[in-house]
């Protein structure tokens, strides 16, 4: 019972901190990152409560957030290798209606630098290509076009990020 009450108290403390955090953002019109930095330093010790932050864009993090003592651990998860991308593609392609043989290995060879979300997007785009020609199933050609489309959008995204950083 004591452990349950302690957990409820910790939960209440966290909720109060989060409420204050959101109030600051609303009241000041402050950027989320400014308030985030303030709160990383401002949290009280909450015992068993852990706060986890995640990003797929570490290049956009404010350096102040990464100063020593701010975070206990930094865990980097690299992009999936070819075998992992193949596994991810097969997982997301499994529920899709397909016709004909699909050479997943050939599709994965075109996906260097893709993350799991990109592989799922390949499946979504393959479905969209099939829908555009009024088919209720996908075939290998749909996957091939989809992986190229996702690769092209990643290149465009990289160019836009590069220009946004002021190095056009």
122: domain CATH number is: 1.10.8.60
Predicted local distance difference test score (pLDDT) of residue 139: 98
Token output for 119:
């592989």
Are 94 and 35 found together in one domain? Answer: no
Are 87 and 123 found together in one domain? Answer: yes
What CA–CA distance (Å, rounded) separates 39 from 56? 21
Contact predicate 122/146, CB 8 Å:
yes
Predicted local distance difference test score (pLDDT) of residue 101: 96
Total domains present in the chain: 2
Collapsed DSSP state (helix, strand, coil) of residue 3: helix
Predicted local distance difference test score (pLDDT) of residue 168: 44
Q: Which domain holds residue 54?
A: 2-66
Are 87 and 157 found together in one domain? Answer: yes
Return the CA Rg of the chain: 22
Residue 77 lies in a domain: no
What CA–CA distance (Å, rounded) separates 142 from 42? 51
Are 97 and 57 found together in one domain? Answer: no
Residue 134 lies in a domain: yes
Predicted local distance difference test score (pLDDT) of residue 76: 85
The tens place of each residue's pLDDT in the chain, 168 residues long, gives: 555 555 556 667 777 777 776 677 667 665 555 555 555 555 555 667 777 888 877 888 888 888 888 777 888 888 999 999 999 999 999 999 999 999 999 999 999 999 999 999 999 999 999 999 999 999 999 999 999 999 999 887 766 665 555 554
Are 104 and 156 found together in one domain? Answer: yes
Predicted local distance difference test score (pLDDT) of residue 23: 72
Strand partners, 163: none
Are 160 and 118 found together in one domain? Answer: yes
């Amino acid at each position: 019972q004591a452990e349950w009450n302690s957990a409820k108290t910790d939960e209440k403390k966290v909720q109060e901190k989060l409420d204050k955090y959101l109030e600051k953002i609303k009241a000041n019109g402050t950027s989320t990152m400014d308030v985030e930095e303030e709160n990383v330093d401002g949290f009280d010790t909450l015992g068993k409560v852990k706060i986890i932050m995640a990003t797929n864009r570490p290049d956009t993090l404010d350096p102040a957030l990464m100063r020593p003592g701010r975070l206990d651990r930094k865990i980097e998860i690299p992009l999936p290798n070819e075998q992992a991308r193949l596994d991810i593609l097969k997982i997301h392609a499994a529920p899709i209606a397909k016709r004909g043989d699909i050479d997943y290995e050939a599709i994965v060879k075109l996906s260097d630098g893709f993350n799991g979300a990109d592989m799922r997007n390949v499946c979504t785009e393959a479905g969209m290509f099939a829908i555009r020609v009024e088919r209720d199933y996908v075939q290998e050609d749909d996957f091939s076009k989809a992986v190229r489309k996702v690769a092209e959008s990643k290149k465009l995204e990289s160019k836009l990020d590069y220009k946004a950083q002021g190095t056009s």
